[in-house]
Amino acid sequence: MTSHSNNPNRKPRRRAAKKTDPLAADSDSMPPRAIATSLESIEVVPRTPVTARRGYSHDPRTPDGVDEVELSLLRDDERHAAASDLTLEEEEAYLAQTDGKRPVSARDKQAIVLLIILYLIQGFPLGLALGSIPFILREHLSYSELAVFSLSGYPYSLKLFWSPIVDSMFFPSIGRRKSWIIPMQLIIGTTMLLISFRAEQLMANPGEHLYMLSFAFTSLVFFSATQDIAVDGWALTLLSEENLAYASTCQTIGLNTGYLLSYTVFLALNSEDFAKRWGIPRLSLSSYLFFCALMSFAVTIWLFFVKEDKESTTEDISIKGVYVTMWEICKLRHVQILLGIHLLAKIGWQASDAATQLKMVEKGLGREDLAITVLIDFPFEIIGGWLAGKWARGDKPLRAWIYAFWPRLILTLVSTLVVYYFPKPPITTGFFASLVILTIFQSFASTIQFGGMSAFHTRISDPVVGGTYMTLLNTFTNLGGTWPRYFVLKGVDYFSVATCNIKDADLAVKAQECVSEHGKAACANLGGECATVQDGYYIVSALCIGFGFLTTVFFLIPTAKKLQTVPISKWRIYS
C-alpha cells in the first residue's frame, strides 16, 4: 500500500481515481508509506496504520482498487467539498473511509469472538497468580513472603525471550498460531487439574509450601504467556486493517473477564462468610481449578474446528532470523524510547496496585465486600476497553493513554488517604459506596490506558515478524508493572516498625514478625498484642507517587506526544 506525495499546487480534493490517472501511475514508483512533502516544515502523520500485511491486498472497497491516501490534513468541510461531485453512494463510502467508520464485517466479528475467548483462557491462571492467591496467602504470610510469590508473575513479563521460537516453529498442517495455542491450552488445563488435587493441602500451611506454590503458579503463568505470544500474532492477521485497533478491545474484554472470574468472583465464593450469608456452598480452590481445567479443554477442542488462514511471507522466519529481527527492532530509536516509557510509567501507582487492597482487607474490609466492589466495576472496564479501542483509531492513538495519566496519579493518592483514614469495622454503607466509586474511577482509567497503549502497539507493529514485535512491546508493558512489585512488597515490611506488647510483663518487644498474621498469632500466644508503630506502606506509596509525578511532567507525557506523531514507516525494520 502506498501513499501519494503532496504537491503544493494540488487542490485538497479526491475523486475516484481512474486507471489513466497519472497520479495513480506515479504512485508505483514511490516508497511504501511515503510522506514526502515540499513543505519541509510540515510533518504528515498517517491517520491509520499502513501495514504490509501478508496475504492481503488493498481494500477491494476502495474505488478501482486505488490505494488509500493520507487525508488527515483536510478539515471536515474540505472533505465534504472533495466528495461533492461524487454520486450519493460514492460520497457515503468516501466519507466513511476518511472518517475511519467502516462497518465491521462478519469475518471480523467472528475473529473478535475468537480472540476474546482465547484471551479469556489466559485470564484464569493470571487472576489466580496475581489476584486471589496473594489475598488468601496474606492471612498467613508477611509482605516479604508475598514478594517471593509475586515472582510467579514474571514469566508473563519475560515472554520476549522465547517468543521467536513460538513465531518460527510450527506445523504447517495445523497452522502457525494453532501449533502453539492448542498444546499450551492442553498443558494449562492439565496443570490446573494436577494442582487441584493438592490445592487444599498446600493452602492449609502455605509457609511450609511457599516455594512449591510459587513454582506451580509460575509454571501456569509461563504456559499462559506462551499462549499469549501466539494469540497476539494471530490477532494481527485475523482482523482486517481498519479494525486492528479492536485487537486491544478483545484483549481487554477477554483477559479482564478471565481475571475477574479468578480474582474477585472466586474470592467471594471462596469466603465462608459470603457462603453463609447467601446460603450457598463454599467454592474451594480445588473445585475452581477443576472448572478452569475443563474450560481450557473445551476451548481447545473447539479450536480443532477453527480454520487458520495460511500466512505467506518472503522474510526469513528461522529462529535465528527472528532473534536477529528482535534485536533490529530494539535498535530502532523510537522503540527504545517507547520501552523506556513502559519501564517507568507504572511506578507511580505501583504501591497502590500491589498493596492497597491488601491493606484494606487487613483493616477490616471483607473479601466478599471487595469482590462486590470489583463486580460492580466490571461493566465499566468493558466500556473503557471499547472506548480505548475507538479513541485509538484517530491520528493521536496515545491520547487516551495520556489523558488517563493524571487521573490515575490523583486516584492513587486518594487511595492511600482512604487506607490511612479507613474506619474500624463494620464499615458504613456510605463509606462502602465511596470505595465502589473510587474503584470504578481507578479501573476505568487503568483500562483506558491499557487499551490505548495496546491499540498503539497494534498500530505500529509489523506483521512481517508475526507476534515478535507485539510481544516485545507487550513484554515491556507488563514488565513495567511487574518488576517494581517485588521491591514494593519488600519495602512495606522494610519500612514498617511493629512491637509485641506483653501486658502481663509490661514489656514491649520490637518484632518484625508482627507484620504477618502468623507473627501476630505468635505474639498472642505469649500473651501480647502486636502494635504497628510505623506502617511502611505509606512511605513506599509516597515514594512511588512522588516519582510518578516527576516522570509524568518531565518525561512520560511530553515523550508520548512526540511518539504518536512518528510516521508508521519509522517503526518498520523492513521497507
Q: What is the pLDDT of residue 68?
A: 39
Write the CA distances from 526 to 470, 500, 504, integer angstroms. 56, 9, 10
Q: Are residues 445 and 509 in the same domain?
A: no
Q: Are residues 257 and 135 in the same domain?
A: yes
Rg (CA), the chain: 26
Number of Cα atoms under 13 Å in the Cβ half of residue 567: 14
Write the CA distances from 119 to 169, 241, 243, 247, 299, integer angstroms. 22, 20, 18, 10, 11
CA distance linking residue 44 with residue 3, whole number of Å: 11
Q: Mean pLDDT of successive 10-residue segments in the chain (575 residues)?
A: 41 41 38 34 32 38 40 46 51 48 78 93 92 87 89 87 84 90 96 94 88 94 92 86 81 88 88 85 94 95 87 59 83 92 94 90 81 78 72 72 91 94 89 90 86 82 70 85 92 86 66 66 78 89 96 94 87 73
Q: Are residues 266 and 339 in the same domain?
A: no
Q: What is the pLDDT of residue 210?
A: 92
304 CB neighbour count, 10 Å cutoff:
9
Q: Are residues 277 and 425 in the same domain?
A: no
Q: Are residues 406 and 521 in the same domain?
A: no
Domain that holds residue 297: 105-312
> What does 13-46 look like in DSSP terms, one character per residue?
------TT-HHHHHGGGSPBT---BS-TT-----
pTM: 0.70
Q: Are residues 335 and 249 in the same domain?
A: no
Q: Are residues 332 and 477 in the same domain?
A: yes
Q: Are residues 241 and 329 in the same domain?
A: no
Q: What is the pLDDT of residue 253?
A: 87
Q: What is the pLDDT of residue 458?
A: 80
Residue 9 lies in a domain: no
Residue 408 lies in a domain: yes
Residue 251 lies in a domain: yes
Q: Are residues 343 and 406 in the same domain?
A: yes
Q: What is the pLDDT of residue 167?
A: 78
Q: Are residues 195 and 169 in the same domain?
A: yes
Number of domains in the chain: 3
Q: What is the pLDDT of residue 485?
A: 92
Pull the grid cell for residue 319. Answer: 529462529
CATH code of 243's domain: 1.20.1250.20
Q: Are residues 513 and 557 in the same domain?
A: no
Q: Which of 295, 312, 329 is the last residue of a domain?
A: 312
Residue 26 lies in a domain: no
Q: Are residues 450 and 512 in the same domain?
A: no
Residue 56 lies in a domain: no
Q: Which of 250, 284, 312 is the last residue of a domain?
A: 312
Residue 446 lies in a domain: yes
CATH code of 557's domain: 1.20.1250
Q: Which of 249, 280, 312 is the last residue of a domain?
A: 312
Q: What is the pLDDT of residue 393?
A: 63
